[in-house]
Amino acid sequence: MIINETQKETRLLLIGSSVFLLVALVEVIFGFIGIFTDEGNWINSMSLPPAIFPGLATLIIGLVWLVGYIEGKKKNNPSGYIIVGTILAWFFIMLFVSLLLTDVFNAYVLQMEDYAEWSMLEAIRWIMLLFPVPLYFTIKFKELFFSK
Amino acid sequence: MSTETKTKKQDKSIDETITCSIDVALAGNPNTGKSTLFNALTGLKQKVGNWPGVTVERKRGRRICESLGMQLNIVDLPGTYSLSAYSLDEEIARNYIIESSPDVVVQIVDASNLERNLYLTTMLMELGAKIVIALNMMDVTEKKKISIDVKKLSKELNIPIVPMIATSKTGIKELETAIATTYEEEKKYEPFTYTNKIESKIDEVEKQLDKVENLPSFINRRWLTIQIVQKDSEIPVFLEKYSVEKSIINELLGLGDEAYEMEIIEHKYDFISKTVEKVVKKQEKEDLSRSDLIDKVVTHKWLGIPVFLMVMWGVFQFVFAVSVPFMELIDMLFGWLAGVITLNIRPEWLGSLLGDGIVGGVGAVVIFVPPIFTMFFMLSILEDSGYLSRAAYVMDKFMTKIGLHGKSFVPMLMGFGCNVPAIMATRTLKNKSDRFVTILTLPFMSCGARIPVYILFAGLFFGASAGTVIFALYVGGMAVGILTAFLLRKFIFKGETDALIMELPPYHTPKLGIATREMWDKGKMYLKKAGTIILVGVVAVWFLAAMPFRGVEYGGPNTWLAAIGKFFEPLFRPLGFDWRLVVGLIVGFVAKELVVGALGAIIGTGEDEAGLRSAIQTDGGFYPLNALSLMVFTLLYVPCAATIGVIKKETGSWKWTIFSVIYTTGIAWIFAFVVFQIGTLLGFGI
């Protein structure tokens, strides 16, 4: 199972990884800034700002694709990087969608006290909005994912 | 087979249509589908896994073949690559075949990996067993475009071979027939012969062996001779079992030479590769499989570990978040039920026992069924996909550095479910030091029973970061385990760890059915505990929380339960725990599931989970720092009475069992102390 790592396909990996890395860095940096700017709140609740870990997940996916791009440039087969990065991206997107749906259920169906002031925006993670990238990879390289 | 034996076997028949009963042993390399075949033959639901080392004990089942008029008594042996008895599972398999002399040994062979699997065949041939080869995973060979001439292979080995696909039960009937035929016929293959030099050595040893008395007739002389020739290190122990004198053993071993071992192995592999060359055809240029492509990334030296850590973090987030609404619903149900019972059943003490004690106590355990089941489900998905084996591979280099064996990672991951089977799974480690170090490290792997404590306190005090805190606790447990392994290796179990030889099974889409069954099998243990030991525990806790009957408030500061807590309180004050938390932790020595139930009795005064949470939140004695200290203590101290029992069983030593209890509790105290005191210094106190 080898895809022809044409320049165009390798470039796609670079674009995908750049988008993910950029968003991840912004998310992680803002997450860390949140610790210090919102210091009082953090100490009282001992809760880390929620953006850091989703940011790290996005960062790792970006890194996987970036290494794939580098391998492709060296004329090595980058297919594994496309597969793993895309599966990870779907895994985390589905994870955060599940968390969002759970929060919606807790807030509106069970009307739990902890969710009295909850808004849907709190549960939206950047990686969820980046779904067109893995979607494009899944369609573009479908033989990597669906062939027997 | 003598007439006498046949008659004896016929006596075992359970049905008039059954004319004979055949003892069948299932042997094979790890991860060749042995357990799947065992399940297909017996209709049982033995654990099937997509990683090596799933079967660590013999499992028994039976199959009635009405059309052939026979009953198969099947024993599933642990997966082994050889029968040299280097590890406990190899020893179990080898000794069973020698001592129980099964009528037929069915060797499950991975058709896509013929060369490696046939090594075990040569060893079974050496033991003189009647063999049938179940050539499994024929569908995989088709996908890999490998063609095997089965008839020719059977002729080359002189062993009946049945091509099959165990997962879809293809070839089961043919296997039954082959077993019946092999049982009835004399074995056709000739003893495996070696070079003249080795053969003359074998003759020499055989002559000496003939002089040895006491040796039971079921031991194959040629096999034993070959083991002596190659100076197998396990042979003295084996012979001692049959009362052979030490001086004779030494005399026999004096005839052998370790150098023969290599020659014997080479000779076997030479035979195997020639045979495979004759019967296997592969397409000229083999493409990299999807598994190979994925492995390049997930076992990458820089990406492997971060990918693994992020996946595990995702799993914990999912488990925690998705379970919350289900827990809320269960809590509402039990809360309502406990209220109805307490209010309506008279006399009052009986209403309190049933409502506050039993329904409230058991409810406090049952409420954690959703996260525990979800956790098992997610781990099963990872395991079934084949990813967990890669995790072990990725961690090997690191594990070796800290003094653990790469294979230890598999039991460590199992420990996240339950420490008891995880400790048993260390049997796959061949080196005793590796095994003991792993066993003593495993209690630090956070088992499912500890989840209730984390969920209660992390959920209450750490809000949106609860999942991250729980993840950190798991990682922290692993870190303390690693530190323990490092110290044990450095000061007690000195020496190098053995190299990791582990098969990476191909990836496949996880099957929902397998994951669900696995989740149920493990989860029902939790439910079963809720109905047995925990039920007894909650009644005991209720009793102590209600005594003395007159003039005390249930769970109040003047009860017997409080007296116990107060007695030990000074020991735990530096950790930020008052007598109520101390009671929870003491009860947790029996089973961690009881901790929340006991706290419910004291703090929530028997109320439901929501009542307990609200009581903890409004109680000035609980705050994030001592909640964290409590979670750290719960993570690290001895898991439960069952784990203590299994440590004793597996190490065979009270010394190491007591060491484990004292060490884990001591470490828990130290870490909780550090967390609480440093946190207080940094201003995270009340």
- Cα–Cα separations (whole angstroms), residue B484 to B35, B648, B657, B660, B663: 34, 19, 15, 11, 10
Confidence class for position B322, pLDDT limits 50, 70, 90: confident
Q: What is the distance of C-alpha B49 from the center of its chain?
A: 10
Number of other CB atoms surrounding residue B659 within 10 Å: 16
Is residue B312 predicted with pLDDT exceeding 60? yes
**In the numeric block, which tokens belong to residue B20?**
């004979």
**pLDDT tens per residue, range B35-44:** 888 888 887 6
Number of other CB atoms surrounding residue B79 within 10 Å: 27
Burial class (CB within 10 angstroms; exposed 0-12, middle 13-18, buried 19+) of B528: exposed
Cis peptide before B102 (omega within 30 of 0): no
Dist. CA B660–CA B283, nearest whole Å: 55
Number of other CB atoms surrounding residue B174 within 10 Å: 15
- Give the type of residue at B143: K
**In the numeric block, which tokens belong to residue B597?**
């139930």
CB A133 within 8 A of CB A14: no
Would you call A80 and B296 a contact, using CB atoms and an 8 Å cutoff? yes
Least confident of B265-274, B288-297, B597-606: B597-606
- Percent of chain B at pLDDT > 90 equals 21
pLDDT at residue B144, rounded to an integer: 77
- Per-residue buried b or exposed e for B634-645, using 16+ beta carbons within 10 Å of the residue's own CB: bbbbbbbebbbe
Give the minimum alpha-carbon distance from B465 to chain A in angstroms, rounded to a whole number. Answer: 5
Average pLDDT, chain B: 82
Dist. CA A89–CA B630, nearest whole Å: 35
Give the minimum alpha-carbon distance from A83 to chain B in angstroms, rounded to a whole number. Answer: 7
**pLDDT tens per residue, range B339-376:** 899 889 888 888 878 887 788 777 767 777 887 788 77
Phi, psi of B683 (to 5 degrees): 90, 20
**In the numeric block, which tokens belong to residue B159?**
């062993």
- Cα–Cα separations (whole angstroms), residue B370 to B18, B54, B114, B451: 46, 25, 43, 11
Confidence class for position B16, pLDDT limits 50, 70, 90: low
Number of other CB atoms surrounding residue B160 within 10 Å: 21
Dist. CA A102–CA B368, nearest whole Å: 17
Helix (H, G, I), strand (E, B) or coil at A126: helix
Give the minimum alpha-carbon distance from A102 to chain B in angstroms, rounded to a whole number. Answer: 6
Dist. CA A51–CA A35, nearest whole Å: 11
Cis peptide before B505 (omega within 30 of 0): no
Helix (H, G, I), strand (E, B) or coil at B147: strand
Chain B residues with beta carbon closer than 8 angstroms to that of A142: none
Least confident of B306-320, B325-339, B498-512: B498-512
Q: Which of B470, B475, B471, B479 is nearest to B404 (CA)?
A: B479
**CB nearest A98 (choices: B322, B464, B468):** B322
CB B117 within 8 A of CB B13: no
Residues 52-81 of A with CB under 8 A from B: 53, 56-57, 60, 63-64, 67-68, 77, 79-81
**CB nearest A99 (choices: B295, B303, B317):** B317
End-to-end CA distance of chain B: 79
Phi, psi of B20 (to 5 degrees): -150, 155
- Give the type of residue at B490: K
Give the minimum alpha-carbon distance from B303 to chain A in angstroms, rounded to a whole number. Answer: 7
Identify the residue whose tokens are 């079921």. B218
Answer whether A139 touches B (CB < 8 Å): no
Phi, psi of B22 (to 5 degrees): -115, 130
Is residue B6 predicted with pLDDT exceeding 80? no
- Cα–Cα separations (whole angstroms), residue B596 to B364, B455, B584: 7, 10, 7
Is residue A42 predicted with pLDDT exceeding 60? no
Angle B61-B66-B72 (CA atoms, 0-180°, nearest 5)?
25
**pLDDT tens per residue, range A124-139:** 888 888 999 999 999 9
Query: Sign of dihedral through CA atoms B226, B227, B231, B235?
Result: negative
- Compute the count of residue pairs across chains A and B with CB atoms less than 8 Å apart: 106
Confidence class for position A41, pLDDT limits 50, 70, 90: very low
Identify the residue whose tokens are 């409080």. B562
pLDDT at residue A135, rounded to an integer: 96
pLDDT at residue A37, rounded to an integer: 61
Chain B residues with beta carbon closer than 8 angstroms to that of A67: 297, 300, 302-303
- Give the type of residue at B4: E
Would you call A80 and B295 a contact, using CB atoms and an 8 Å cutoff? yes
CB B367 within 8 A of CB B304: no
Is residue B230 predicted with pLDDT exceeding 70? yes
Would you call B465 and A48 a contact, using CB atoms and an 8 Å cutoff? yes
CB B131 within 8 A of CB B121: yes
Residue with the larger pLDDT of the pair B418 and B99: B99
Helix axes of B259-279 and B114-127: crossing angle, nearest 10 degrees: 120
ipTM value of the model?
0.89
Dist. CA B558–CA B551, nearest whole Å: 9
Q: According to DSSP H, which parts of B603-653 are helical?
A: 609-618, 624-636, 641-651
Name the DSSP letter for residue B167: G
Identify the residue whose tokens are 């004690």. B357
Dist. CA B57–CA B79, nearest whole Å: 10
Dist. CA B572–CA A39, nearest whole Å: 30
Chain A residues with beta carbon closer than 8 angstroms to that of B300: 67
Chain B positions with Cβ closer than 8 Å to A: 143, 287-290, 292-298, 300, 302-303, 306-307, 310-311, 313-314, 317-318, 321-322, 324-325, 328-329, 461-465, 468, 624-625, 628, 683-684
Give the minimum alpha-carbon distance from B310 to chain A in angstroms, rounded to a whole number. Answer: 6
Phi, psi of B161 (to 5 degrees): -125, 130
pTM over 0.80: no
Q: For B655, what's the count of Cα atoms within 13 Å in the CB-facing half-sphere?
A: 1
